[in-house]
Structure 1
Amino acid sequence: MARPKSLRKVVKPPGFKGYKPYGHQQRRQKPVDLLYEEYEALKLADYDLMTHQEASEIMGISRATFARIYERARRKIARAFVEVKEIKAVYGHALLDKSWLVCNKCFARFTIPETITERNCPVCKSYNIETVK
């Protein structure tokens, strides 16, 4: 029996729900699902320019596990580019660092400090918000 996957710490969820190819007549294809932890691995290694060891410590996983997640993310992005497929952000096995919310009106992602009691979007003031899952 396989060992259950531990949750991977994600500091901030992706700021997008997905990406679609531009300028291509796309027939209905299944999108490529990019898990939150794969997004976080790409962000830490390629955007924040951290070593795999530094990034793995932030995510609370081993360096080898980080390397596997990072490689899987790179392959998914490459497949989406080459096969002209949509990329969708999917929750996966993530543990969000804080309680993140998304506004269904302006799509802003944010957290609310515990000292504030009113739960509305800080950008557009809408009450149509939900917890990021």
Structure 2
Amino acid sequence: MPRPKMPRTVCGRPANSCFKPNGVPMPKLEQVPLAADEFEALRLVDLQGMQQKQAAEQMEVSRQTLANIVKSARLKVVDCLANGKALMMTEIEGVTDDHRNPTE
């Protein structure tokens, strides 16, 4: 039985709940879920340019956990871009929704 996920703090939210290739109806696309913590890890590390240690502290996870989350998220994004799949933003259990301004 896997260990339960530790709570993660998420400040940012995606602008949209889905990104998909133009001109292809959603029912014809394979959908890849991107969890809220994966989006947050990408936002902090890749968009804001935080070091993984600092981003891990903000999300209240270990640096290794953050690295695993970033790796998983990047693979999903690249899979969608390279293979024409829809990227679906999803919620996960154990995420603390922190309503601070994400630019702080």
The TM tier, using the shorter chain, reads: 0.7 to 0.9
1:2 Cα offset (Å): 2.4
Which residue of structure 2 lines up, in the alignment, with residue 96 of structure 1?
Answer: 97
What count of residue pairs does the alignment treat as equivalent? 99
1:23 Cα offset (Å): 4.7
CA separation of 1:59 and 1:86: change in aligned 2, threshold 3 A = same
Larger Rg: 1
Report 1:12-23 matches (<5 A).
12-23=12-23
CA separation of 1:96 and 1:84: change in aligned 2, threshold 3 A = same
| TM-score between both structures, scaled by the size of structure 1 | 0.67
Contact 1:13 1:96 in 2 (8 A): no
More helix by share: 2
Which residue of structure 1 lines up, in the alignment, with residue 35 of structure 2?
Answer: 35
**Does residue 11 in structure 1 map to residue 5 in structure 2?**
no
Q: Among the aligned pairs, what percent are the same residue?
A: 33
Which residue of structure 1 lines up, in the alignment, with residue 102 of structure 2?
Answer: none
Distance in 2 (alpha carbons) for counterparts of 1:58 and 1:3: 22
| TM-score between both structures, scaled by the size of structure 2 | 0.85
The worse-fitting range, judged by mean Cα deviation, of 56-65 and 85-94 is 85-94
Which residue of structure 1 lines up, in the alignment, with residue 73 of structure 2?
Answer: 73
Could you list the runs of 5+ residues in structure 2 that have no partner in the other structure?
100-104
**Which letter maps to 2:87?**
I
Distance in 1 (alpha carbons) for counterparts of 2:26 and 2:61: 37
Distance in 1 (alpha carbons) for counterparts of 2:97 and 2:56: 15
1:25 Cα offset (Å): 7.2
Report 1:52-131 matches (<5 A).
52-93=52-93, 94-98=95-99
Could you list the runs of 5+ residues in structure 1 that have no partner in the other structure?
99-133
1:66 Cα offset (Å): 0.1
Provide the aligned C-alpha RMSD in A: 1.9
Higher relative contact order (CA 8 A, sep 6+): 2
